[in-house]
Amino acid sequence: MRRIRIIPVLTLQNEKLVKTIRFKNPTYIGDPINAVKIFNEKEVDEIVILDITASKEKREPNYVKIEEIASEAFMPFAYGGGITNIYQIEKLFKLGIEKVVLNSILETNMSLVKEAAKIFGSQSVVASVDIKKNIFGKEQAYKISGTTKINLPLIEYIQQLENAGVGELFINSIDRDGTYQGYDLALIKQIYSLVNLPIVACGGAASVDSFLPAIQNGASAIAAGSMFVYTGSTRGILINYPKQEELVLKVYLQL
Amino acid sequence: MITIINYNAGNIKSIQNMLKRIGAKSCISADAKEIEQAEKLILPGVGHFDYGMKNLQESNLIEVLNKKVLDDKIPLLGICLGAQLLGNRSEEGVLSGLGWIDMEVVKFDKAKMPENLKIPHMSWNEIKIKKQSKLLEGLNDESRFYFVHSYHLKCKNEDDVLATTNYGYEFTSAVEKENIFGVQFHPEKSHKYGMRLLENFNRFKV
């Protein structure tokens, strides 16, 4: 039986957990340490924690908080937000994280990927690409929490990331973020046809039923935010994760 | 007390965090004199085979490790690259390994795998236990562990195989020979399963 990684994505703003809709209106969810402790109990496959205001505020990663979170994370832990150089990356790995997630720095300094992959291995370097459609339906990559357009055609940008040596592509649909509309399957399919890299699909998951189509269209791993921090469409806060039996039945055995 | 060998090639902090959680005493050392006094060793490791061997050589640790493991027979657990270094050599590099377990490290054979399986093998996966072992007490074939690797172990001697895992085909995911253990997966990142394995190692006596 082939297992796919199912990854909760937690977004941080000033050390607090928040959840956005289409990258806007961050709503307070709770304390990240508490959430990670619950995710330990639920035996989640991996967690991604993104500080969504670090790059906006030109801040370095909050090492103290990250170390605190890492000390409670008994699953693989990927961190992103405010990373601009190799020294920061080295420091982060020493704190006990497994992967760095790069985004806002990539357009201007793609060589950071090469440098990091050479020292720490490409498996520990994730490129996150936030994607939004313009009014003509054309897909465009964004940086700095979706506020700034990347001045390269999406396809070219993604190919550059692959050539630079990233280990994974974290594809986040801004349009689907927090909407429960399901993953953007056409987008996943398009990127899958372009690159040989594992794709982590994010944005739009409503329930376990959203996972299989994303995998069938090329995702190697599944990420989601809202469905793991809210219960139901009324968005009552509840840190949750599907049971193994449900994942086996509805996802793994269907592959 | 478990001594975690610090040769600049590993996720030492995660291992230390997990040992702390299970109440096992641990320290980190790159010093041959300290390692000479160790009761139990963990050889962590992430990265390139030659980089790992080179760092062990440059830290002047190979002699003391040979003595502790082969003569004094203290328990040693190699994790990920640390498990691979227990073998003779690797397709990834040109340097000789520690040679404590008669095995090679080979790249995943794409020709034997379905196309949709990517390399590295980066996922949770189950183990199939091949022999009775104190290291895997309380664990079974449903126990899941986190893997991230492009190369895998290949034992010459079936008796050294402790567990196998299937990724496209069956490969050796854990080895055991007397006081020497190696696991390809990351127990420090594998929830209660990894906790149990490390508890077992902490309790293990030769």
Tens of pLDDT along A225-255?
999 999 977 899 999 999 999 999 999 999 9
Taking CA atoms, A81 is separated from A103, A120, A191, in Å, by: 8, 18, 23
CB-nearest partner of A96 from B11, B48, B148: B11
At residue A192 the predicted structure's pLDDT band, cuts being 50, 70 and 90, is: very high
List, for residues B54-94, the tens digit of each pLDDT value: 999 999 999 999 999 999 999 999 999 999 999 999 999 99
Average pLDDT, chain B: 96
Work out how many domains chain B is built from and give that number. Answer: 1
| Residue A85 buriedness (CB in 10 A; 0-12 / 13-18 / 19+) | middle
Distance between A151 CA and the closest CA of chain B, angstroms:
30
Residue-level pLDDT at A20: 98
Give A13's contacts (C-beta < 8 A, 6+ positions apart): A26, A51, A52, A53
CATH class, range A5-254: alpha beta
- With a CB-CB cutoff of 8 Å, which residues 138-167 of chain B face chain A? 144, 146, 148, 150
At residue B34 the predicted structure's pLDDT band, cuts being 50, 70 and 90, is: very high
List, for residues B93-136, the tens digit of each pLDDT value: 999 999 999 999 999 999 999 988 899 999 999 999 999 999 99
Residue-level pLDDT at B9: 77
Whether the per-residue pLDDT at A52 is higher than 80: the answer is yes
Full domain range(s) for residue B56: 2-203
Catalogue the active-site residues of A.
Answer: 130
Nearest residue in B to A74, CA atom: B189
Whether the per-residue pLDDT at A59 is higher than 90: the answer is yes
Which of A117-121, A239-243, B17-21 bottoms out in mean pLDDT, i.e. has the lowest?
A117-121
Mean pLDDT of B151-155: 98
Q: What is the ipTM of this complex?
A: 0.94
Catalogue the active-site residues of B.
Answer: 80, 186, 188
Residue-level pLDDT at B47: 84
Residue-level pLDDT at B206: 77
- The closest of B163, B142, B144, B5 to B69, measured between CA atoms, is B5
How many pairs of residues across A and B have Cβ atoms under 8 Å apart? Answer: 67
- With a CB-CB cutoff of 8 Å, which residues 216-235 of chain A face chain B? 220-221
At residue B46 the predicted structure's pLDDT band, cuts being 50, 70 and 90, is: confident
- What CATH number is given to the structural domain containing B151? 3.40.50.880
Whether the per-residue pLDDT at B179 is higher than 80: the answer is yes
Residue-level pLDDT at A118: 87
Asked if B11 lies within 8 A of A93 by C-beta distance, the reply is: yes
Residue-level pLDDT at B205: 87
> For chain A, what percent of residues have pLDDT higher than 70?
100
Residue-level pLDDT at A119: 87
Residue-level pLDDT at A46: 98
